[in-house]
Chain A
Amino acid sequence: MNLALLAYRSLVNRRSTAILTVVSIAISVTLLLGVEKIRINARDSFANTISGTDLIVGGRSGSVQLLLYSIFRIGNATNNISWESYQAITSKPGIKWTIPISLGDSHRGYRVMGTNQDYFEYYRHGNKRKLELAAGETFKDYFDVVIGAEVADALNYQVGEDVIVTHGISSSSITDHKDKPFHVSGILKPTGTPVDRTLHISLEGIEAMHLGWQNGVPIPNANTSVKRARKSQLQPKSITAFLLGLENKITAFKLQRFINEYPNESLLAIFPGVALHELWGLMSIAEKALLAISSFVVVAALIGMLAVSLAGLNERRREIAILRSVGAGYRHIIGLLVVESSLLTMAGIMTGLILLYSGLILAQPLIESSYGLHIPVTLPGLRELGMLSILAAAGILVGLIPAYRAYRNSLLDGMSSKT
């Protein structure tokens, strides 16, 4: 009977307290690693998305908010930009290109974005990488849709299929545009950015969708058919935001000031890099707080294990005295209790990992549709393994305290059969 087996049998004998200890450690592990996963992936989600864009312009709101909804499709705009203002600003000298975008619609949980050909021409992601088509072509017709790689994958869409796009943002929209089906004209290659989770249609397409709607609610009996929709004037009236690139980046500040002070409409122009740093700054505060909290939870779990172990020592005095009488030395007694705490800690870590991954697999789609946060189910990285190692080491060391106590007790007790 080696020490590990003896420790295991001893724990099984006290299984209710052992299970409770394992559960408390498991919960702390799940929390610690869960927070870490969210932290890393939130940061990753926001990296490599935008490149080569000098300014982003939207209706007046906060700079982080503008960045979030225009690039990351998280949250919503509070105000739009009128088409006139857009034309006026982009006619200024020194602007090399612009990409107008229009948000606010969704298709089965994925966001729909209105834009024009300039998007496919000028949008860059990662390290100045251009968008590429995996199949089909960009939109020609007003009702053409170019979908991101993930949308194609998850909803199993092929080029040529007809899809229906809803108004407003949610997975289950009550009002559908059933009479205006859209047509998948192209599928983009994966980018690892929110582009993958977006359906792109033309600005005219967005207008076409809303024909016959007043203030977002369908007018009864206003059955504008597809043919009629084509023939009507589909000039976009407003957009949500636009991106721009400059001939000379030095002019960025001046243009930004001009846009922010534009008299005809309340607008905001941001440097994407600056807004991203602001976002990371906010996240950093939250991250530190979460890490501190989960660390405290781990400490609480370890203290709980220690308390249970010390409390149980009294009952085990006889058991330990017997072991000493059959020849167990101090090394064996200390070893026994350290192995016990190690087994509990390891079991706690394993259980915590199982809890974490099963929870992640279940919750992943929900997190994505609610928060736009994509958390891939990946194995623990180096930092997470480091945290687990520290936890394991702490668990082993915690076992030394009752071990020492038990040994001291056994010396004092002697072999008195009265105990």
Chain B
Amino acid sequence: MRSIIINKNIVAALLAALVVTVIGSAYAAETRKIMWDDLIPEGWNPEKIFQDLTDEEFNALPEETYQAMLKQVQAELDAAPVTESLNGERLKIPGFIVPLEINNTNISEFLLVPYFGACTHTPPPPANQIIYSKAKNQFSIDDIYQPVWITGTLQTGRYTSQLNEAGVAQAADIKSAYSMQVEVVEPYEE
């Protein structure tokens, strides 16, 4: 079992969290645990155009049509809508860390993803299954391949996108995404 080395800066934060939990346990109970499915709005189904086909229809697709439909699916995945209701909520979610900013051996910014190896073989997670996280207090971690719980305030953001000249056929940019101000990082245990 791996443990996370707590940076000295985070001791104060953890003590504060402890005091808060002791005094107002109701407050601690409000840190809602969510799973990655919660980040996907109801009814979002990027593969719908494929699922609408029967097996025979699917197999009968000409290669070009298939590729074009694939690109549409990809565009849907990129468009990745977010669950607006979660904006501003204090949440706890488990996941894997992909570090972005490292100072000495401390991580200050990272991406949280639902599965291990998101940056290697498996297809990349859609935009609404990634959380761009900024740690309030830098922390260091022995093994980034172990899952963690992160706790913080989730934000949904809108980004203006630049579509290129080719239009819809090319992948559209992300229209909105999740980010989080992370207060606590701890090892994930069932």
Residues of chain A touching chain B, judged by Cβ–Cβ distance below 8 Å, are 43, 47-48, 50-52, 54, 93-94, 126-128, 247-254, 256-257, 270-274, 276-277, 280-281
Cβ-defined partner of B132 (8 Å) among A126, A250, A273, A274: A250
Q: Is the CB of A93 within 8 A of B101?
A: no
Interchain CA distance A54-B78 in the complex, whole Å: 18
For residue B125, CB closer than 8 A to chain A, the reply is yes
Which residues of A are found within 8 Å of B101, using beta-carbon distances?
51-52, 128, 273
Given contacts A248-B174, A250-B174, A253-B124, 11 further A-B pairs with CB under 8 A are: A47-B102, A93-B162, A128-B101, A249-B100, A249-B111, A251-B127, A253-B125, A273-B110, A277-B99, A277-B144, A281-B143
Closest chain B CB from A129 CB (angstroms): 10
Interchain CA distance A51-B103 in the complex, whole Å: 8
For residue B130, CB closer than 8 A to chain A, the reply is yes
CB 8 Å contact bits of B78-116 with A (1 = contact, 0 = none): 100000000000000000001111111101001101000
Which residues of B are found within 8 Å of A48, using beta-carbon distances?
103-104
Q: List 25 A-B contacts (CB under 8 A).
A: A47-B103, A51-B101, A51-B103, A54-B100, A93-B161, A93-B162, A93-B164, A94-B173, A94-B174, A126-B103, A248-B159, A248-B173, A249-B132, A250-B127, A250-B130, A250-B177, A251-B174, A253-B118, A253-B124, A253-B125, A254-B78, A257-B124, A271-B98, A273-B100, A276-B99
Closest chain B CB from A61 CB (angstroms): 15
Closest chain B CB from A244 CB (angstroms): 13
Which residues of A are found within 8 Å of B28, using beta-carbon distances?
none
Interchain CA distance A43-B100 in the complex, whole Å: 18
Q: Is the CB of A43 within 8 A of B127?
A: no
Interface residues on B, range: 20 to 34
Residues of chain B touching chain A, judged by Cβ–Cβ distance below 8 Å, are 78, 98-105, 107, 110-111, 113, 118-119, 123-125, 127, 130, 132, 143-144, 159, 161-164, 171, 173-174, 177-178
Q: Is the CB of B107 within 8 A of A273?
A: yes
Q: Is the CB of B123 within 8 A of A257?
A: yes
Which residues of A are found within 8 Å of B127, using beta-carbon distances?
250-251
Q: Is the CB of A47 within 8 A of B105?
A: yes
Q: Contacts A248-B177, A250-B132 hold; do A274 and B103 have CB atoms under 8 A apart?
A: no
Which residues of A are found within 8 Å of B164, using beta-carbon distances?
93
Closest chain B CB from A287 CB (angstroms): 13
Q: Contacts A256-B124, A274-B119 hold; do A251 and B173 have CB atoms under 8 A apart?
A: yes
Closest chain B CB from A70 CB (angstroms): 16
Interchain CA distance A212-B164 in the complex, whole Å: 41
Q: Is the CB of A256 within 8 A of B173?
A: no
CB closest residue in chain B, given A273: B99
Which residues of A are found within 8 Å of B103, using beta-carbon distances?
47-48, 51, 126-127
